[in-house]
Amino acid sequence: MSKRLIAALFGVLAIAVVAAGCGSSGSSDSSSGEESSASALTKPEFIKAADAICEEGNESIEGEAEEFAKENGIDTEKPTTEDQEEVVSEVVAPAIREQAEAISELGAPSGEEEVVEEIVAAVEAGAEEAEEEPVVLVSGEGGGPFEEANELANEFGLKVCGGE
């Protein structure tokens, strides 16, 4: 895909990708004296891990989208709306869904479980909508399928996830 198309596509997705991309970057802290669990991260640690994963997730999706375009003969200089929708449906939305699953496995900071669950649910709903109706993401009209996820991520304190 062209850098311009990718930038436009990721401008809308950046928050959701990052919010969802907090997968398996948990840290183990056995010095607390408490039993170790998946939710051992503090909120600052969680935010740092999530934002790092979002950056990596954005890069990964970009590479996968470029590969998909090449394999499917998509003109990256002048992609059609159908081409863009296909990339969203076949590459972007499934990748975001996988990241949402991974963040749910990361574990929320103590006392933040409900908020993290809301973010994950909003990302999953956005990914489902983007996969089923990619035109909502490609058209750029309104807030798009990830508007709620982006707002929740920003409110939670994520900087890359939910950032512009």
pLDDT at 21: 37
Look at residue 18 and tell me whether its pLDDT is greater than 80.
Answer: no
pLDDT at 164: 52
Q: What is this structure's pTM?
A: 0.74
Q: What is the pLDDT of residues 96-124, one digit of tens each?
A: 888 778 777 788 999 999 999 999 899 89
Which of these, 37, 34, 31, 94, lies nearest to 61 by C-alpha position? Answer: 94
Domain boundaries, the chain: 3-24+39-156
Alpha carbon 85 to its chain's center: 17
Q: What is the pLDDT of residues 77-103, one digit of tens each?
A: 888 999 999 999 999 999 888 877 877
Cβ atoms 156, 54 nearer than 8 A: no
The CA distance from 41 to 106, in Å, is 9
The CA distance from 40 to 28, in Å, is 7
